[in-house]
Amino acid sequence: MTAVRRNKQQELQERMDHLGIREEDIEEHFIRAGGRGGQKTNKTAVCVYLKHLPTGIEVKCQRERSQAVNRFLARRILTEKIERRRRGARSREQARIAKIRRQKRKRSARTKAKLRKIKEERSEKKRLRRPPPGPGE
């Protein structure tokens, strides 16, 4: 990956290390790109396909005419996707815990009064639905 600055490569490598993404876990293929770019892209395999085996996340990148740049960009996209998935899983877990906490929390006096009023109104509706008492009752 010579077309990408060394400090950017290093930053990406550090992010990958932090997330526990290893090169051995990434399956990489090169495909001939389609679309714009002229004869050069039609003849060379500049499109990069990556698959992170542990998560099953797949990425395809053919943004640039350089295979080296596309390799870098594909790894960056893959890292972002894995990071987003982990953050999402964490926030879902936090939301579940917060929901349980809310359910277990003691109700305020105002909420209790409101619920009592609703119950009374409902019982009144039900009472009005009953048939009137017969002559012997």
Tens digit of each residue's pLDDT (9 = 90 or more) over 67-121: 899 999 999 999 999 998 888 877 888 889 999 998 898 989 999 999 999 999 9
**pTM (whole model) above 0.85:** no
Which domains occur in the chain, in start order? 6-98 (3.30.160.20)
Q: Would the pLDDT of 1 be above 50?
A: no
The mean predicted confidence, pLDDT, of the chain is 89
Per-residue CA distances from 48 to 66, 89, 123 (Å): 10, 28, 67
Cα(41)–Cα(59) distance, integer angstroms: 19
